[in-house]
Amino acid sequence: MTGLRFGLALAASVLALGVAQAQTPKKGGTVHVVVQPEPPMLMQGLNQNGPTNMVAGNIYESLLRYDEKLNPQPSLAKSWEISPDAKVYTFKLQEGVTWHDGKPFTADDVVFTLDKFLREVHPRWRPIVNAQVETIEKVDDLTVKITLKQPFGPLIMTQEVASAPMIPKHIYDGTDYRANPANNTPIGTGPFKLKEWKKGSYIHLVKNENYWLKGKPNLDEIYWQIIPDAAARAVAYETGKVDVLTGGSVDVYDVARLSKLPNTCMTTKGWEMFAPHAWLTPNVRNGILGNKQFRQGLMYAIDREFGREVVWGGLGKLPTGPISSKTKFYSADVPKYAFDPAKAKELIKASGYKGETIRLLNLPYGETWTRWTEAIKQNLEDVGVKVQVENTDVPGWTQKASNWDFDLNFNFLYQLGDPAMGVARSYITSNIAKGNPFANVGGYSNPEVDKLFAEAAIAPTDKERQDLYTKVQKLLADELPVLWLLEMDFPTIYRCNVKNLVTTGIGVDDGFRDAWKE
Amino acid sequence: MNLAQFLAGRLAKGIVVLFAIAVLNFFLIRAAPGDPAQVLAGEAGAADEQLLIQLRERFGLDQPLLTQLWVYLKGYLTFDLGFSYRQQQTVLSLILDRLPATLLLTGAAFLVSLGLGTLMGALAARRAGRWQDSVITTLALVFYATPLFWVALMSQIVFSLKLGLVPNVGYESIGANYTGLARALDIASHLVLPALTLGLFFTALYARMMRASMLEVAGADFVKTARAKGLSPGVISRRHVARNAILPVVTLAGLQAGQLVGGAVLTETVFAWPGIGRLMFDALVQRDYSVLLGVFFISSAMVVGFNILTDIVYRLADPRIEAVS
């Protein structure tokens, strides 16, 4: 099975390479890209904010990349093998890779990164390595072996660049990571190097002349421009100041208009790994919200298609359950909720709702969310539910969400390529923890759900995992611990003469390695 | 009271005021929900207890509040504005990095609005009741009443997008690597829209203030005397009326000058101008306490400083004013 999987991956990558080279890339050129907000830092091991990932994905690299179907592809790992018992992963590294400071990249760096550095600082890798991994060993300079405590299928999905960027051991080992002065001058193995960061204006990356993949990158320079106002970003694109508007950087109502401009392309691809899933979290500790019938009533009351069509400008897709249809293990075999106010009224009445005011916490991420909040308030009031909208700024929202201070709360979370990493966290009992807005903040707890997620994570084959995930999706869609609203699309708008911009399931975050300018 | 005594007194008061502001700021921003560690974790889309503990320790937030206050005040006494762990830089270097851009923008806006505003006001007063007056007062009203962000965006759409005259955002052409005069011209072209937008409101204020003040002075007895002894209207207007009418404008200019550092948040945001206003706004939404306190402190020091300066300018404009405080 594993041999076959590897063979397929290789074949797919060869195929991808063939397609990419159908048109000979031109060398040289500069691309101007929008990044917003300004990243706090570019040291990707210590910070995984959206904007950090966008820029730092050019500087750092990980063992693997993932295509649009989320199949692993070689990156710093040339090849990999999974033992028949699915417990030992052996990664063969690329030869001749050097860090930006000229030092060689070896298995020591990989072991340091995965076993020490990220285990200490990375909130996503830490739980995986602590719970699943037995040892991470260097076999020789170019071979690393990861031995698991038990089979853990998602491991092969964890080596994406923001989740596991390779960190230079010679710079960080034995230092206080967060205080290391090198954090301001990131050293990676990636196709581009940091030249200058003019705070408040731009980040300038230049080609890594010694990049290990011969002939790459094609571009000479990338400028990431920091333009705080969304409307000004749109004008900057129209006047030619920038070539690429990354996902979410312009208002939804500008997307359609900008996409129609001459020499302009738009794609919603490149988000398959993250597959942002938006929902409303009911705080099930709060009275009537703990009642399943009431939650189902709310789901029938919300005109989700209106939200998609009008508020989000027709972008995205209606979800059916906790797992995005863009990722693996999705199942459509679940109870569905069409927009049906009459049925909603019935269920809400049957739930014993007595007209309590429900506090709806708006997500302060801009106009679109505010409109969505208003639309949903309207939907709920139409079926007799009293709603009071609460507004705050981002830190205020983070605090309220983390401390469970809401009745209904908007949120959107990344799926991270596998339900064990991006999905289970919102529903399992062990993740009910204050202080984290992305934990199970609604407080839903169901031993059966816990068991299904736990078993699915470590089931040895994909078939067994699929069966368990199918069950849990069916169960959750009935119970509605959260009200799924939208599989979000973040369109990337760019000039058509920028080629090969989005080639993987991580999109722009995977860097401009293959991009070129006509 | 001589000038030296006056200055010493004002400075001493200023220091007390600054200290009070510093303490007040500290508690004010703590009253806002959330903290920098939570914000960082929230932005990353993933967090666990350990990450928050690590970050809070790094930010010094695990210390008792009074200890934090003491560390902050002690730093200020030694001219150390602190360190931003979010940006991995000292607050002073962050501020100094952004200061030139802000001073260029607000300074340009200051000069434009002061010059244009007083001129418009003086002209309107001399032509009071005629069509020139109507045009100017109407314009001033429009400048005064139009929201800044609307002017900012509309000017981008009209002058950058439709007419292609000047760039819409930024401080200079990124990646163009101009030097010398070419660079100065490039920066100037980027400066046009934000400086005009920012200056518009104060232009209106100066114009209205100058006009009203000149009309008031024009009716005074000494102006009648001047007219009676046969001076030309131009001389009366310049030497007698304008000089006496300028005091309220000086007051207003003092106010505007006090805002040179902190008053351009909106303009800097819409025009992507890399100044202090944006540094402050970003620090606010990120709860980057040390940066926020640093900017607050520098801006309050500017206000206090310009108040003292305004008092001195009063004496120059009108020697009859004694520096009594």
From chain B, pick out residues whose CB is under 8 angstroms from the CB of A392: 33
Beta carbons of A394 and B41 less than 8 Å apart: no
pLDDT of A5 higher than 60: no
Q: What is the pLDDT of residue B89?
A: 87
CB pair distance less than 8 Å for A438 and B45: yes
Orientation angle between helical segments B3-31 and B65-77, nearest 10 degrees? 150
Cβ distance of B45 and A393 shorter than 8 Å:
no
Average pLDDT of chain A to the nearest whole number: 92
More confident call, B89 vs A64: A64
pLDDT score of B175:
86
B42, B51, B171: residue with CB nearest A201? B171
Report pLDDT digits (tens) over B62-77. 888 899 899 889 888 8
**Would you tell me how many other CB atoms lie within 10 Å of the CB of residue A103?**
14
Residue A260: the pLDDT is 93
Residue of A225, A235, A397 lying closest to B156 (CB–CB): A235
Element (H, E) at B83: strand B83-84
Q: What is the DSSP letter of A248?
A: T
A323: alpha, beta or left? (left if phi > 0; alpha if psi -120 to 50): beta
Closest C-alpha among A187, A195, A149 to residue A30: A195
Burial class (CB in 10 A: 0-12, 13-18, 19+), B145: exposed
d(CA B172, CA B195): 14
Chain A: give the shortest CA distance to residue B231, in Å: 54
Q: List, in sequence order, every residue forming a beta bridge with A33; answer none if it has no partner.
A: A224, A244
- Among the partner-chain residues A232, A399, A439, the one whose CB lies closest to the CB of B271 is A232
What are the C-alpha distances in Å from A441 to residues A284, A434, A488?
A: 9, 8, 21
Phi-psi region of A367 (alpha: psi -120 to 50; beta: other; left: phi over 0): alpha
Give the SS3 label for residue A280. strand
* B295-316 confidence digits (pLDDT tens): 999 888 888 888 888 888 887 7
Question: How many Cβ atoms from other residues are within 10 Å of residue A288's Cβ?
Answer: 21
**Which residue type is seen at A108?**
D
User: Average pLDDT for residues B186-213, to the nearest whole number?
Assistant: 93
At residue A67, what are phi and psi to the nearest 5 degrees?
-80, -175
Contacts of A514 (CB under 8 A, 6+ apart): A20, A25, A216, A217, A218, A500, A503
Instruction: List b or e across A231-264, with b for residues whose CB sees 16 or more CB atoms inside 10 angstroms.
Output: bbbbbbbbbebbbbbbbbbbbbebbeebeeeeee
Does A15 score more than 50 pLDDT? no
Cα–Cα distance for residue pair B121/B115, rounded to 1 Å: 10
Residues 219-278 of A with CB under 8 A from B: 221, 223, 225-229, 231-232, 235-236, 238-239, 241
DSSP lists the bridge partners of residue A265 as: A494
Q: Is A28 on the interface with B (CB under 8 A)?
A: no
Answer yes or no: is pLDDT of A19 > 70. no
Record: contact B153-A231, CB cut-off 8 A: yes
- Band (pLDDT 50/70/90 cuts) for residue A7 is very low
Q: Is the dihedral of CA B273, B274, B275, B276 positive or negative?
A: positive
- The encoded tokens of residue B90 equal 């000292």
pLDDT at A365: 87
Q: Does A183 touch chain B (CB under 8 A)?
A: yes
How do residues A432-466 score in pLDDT, each as one tens digit? 988 888 889 999 999 999 999 999 999 989 999 99
DSSP secondary-structure letter at A179? G
Higher pLDDT, B62 or A353: A353
- HEC profile of A402-450: HCCCCCEEEEEECCCCCHHHHCHHHCCHHHCCCCCCCCCCCCCCCHHHH
Instruction: Give how far B255 is from chain A: nearest CA, Å.
Output: 27
Contact call for B87 and A199, based on CB within 8 A: yes
Which residue in chain A is spatially nearest to B278 when comparing CA positions? A200
Q: Which residues of B touch A228 (CB under 8 A)?
A: 269-270, 272, 278
Task: Give me the pLDDT at residue B51, please.
Answer: 81
Cα B304 off chain centre by: 13
Report CB contact under 8 Å: B88, A236.
no
Contact (CB<8Å) A395/B171: no
Q: Which of A55, A359, A71, A43 is nearest to A180 (CA)?
A: A43
Instruction: Look up tokens 């501020």; give the residue.
Output: B95
Interface test with chain B among A394, A428, A490, A509, by most B beta carbons within 10 Å: A394
State the average pLDDT over residues A66-94.
Answer: 95
Predicted pLDDT at B54: 83
Report chain A residues whose CB lies below 8 A from the CB of B285: 393-395
A127 touches B: beta carbon within 8 Å:
yes
DSSP character for B234? H
Do the strands A221-225 and A30-34 form a parallel or antiparallel pair, or are they unpaired?
Answer: parallel
pLDDT tens, position by position, B231-264? 888 888 888 888 888 888 888 888 888 877 776 8
What is the rounded CA–CA span in Å between residue A334 and residue A480?
11
pLDDT digits (tens, 9 = 90+) for A134-185: 999 999 999 999 999 999 999 999 999 999 999 999 999 999 998 898 999 9
> Is there a contact between A201 and B272 if contact means CB atoms under 8 Å apart?
yes
Q: How far apart are CA A430 and CA A439, in angstroms?
A: 9
List pLDDT tens digits, range A298-310: 999 999 999 999 9
pTM of the model: 0.89
Average pLDDT over chain B reads 88
Using a CB cutoff of 8 Å and minimum separation of 24, what contacts does A177-180 make?
Answer: A177/A45, A177/A46, A177/A117, A177/A120, A177/A121, A178/A46, A178/A121, A178/B54, A178/B58, A178/B85, A179/B58
A176 touches chain B (CB under 8 A): no
CB contact under 8 A, A50 and B43: yes
Is the pLDDT at A10 greater than 60? The verdict is: no
pLDDT tens track for B125-147: 888 889 999 999 999 999 899 98
* A287-300 tens-digit pLDDT: 999 999 999 999 99
The answer to whether residues A487 and A277 touch, using CB atoms and an 8 Å cutoff, is yes
Q: What is the pLDDT of residues A393-435, one digit of tens each?
A: 888 998 999 999 999 999 999 999 999 999 999 999 999 988 8
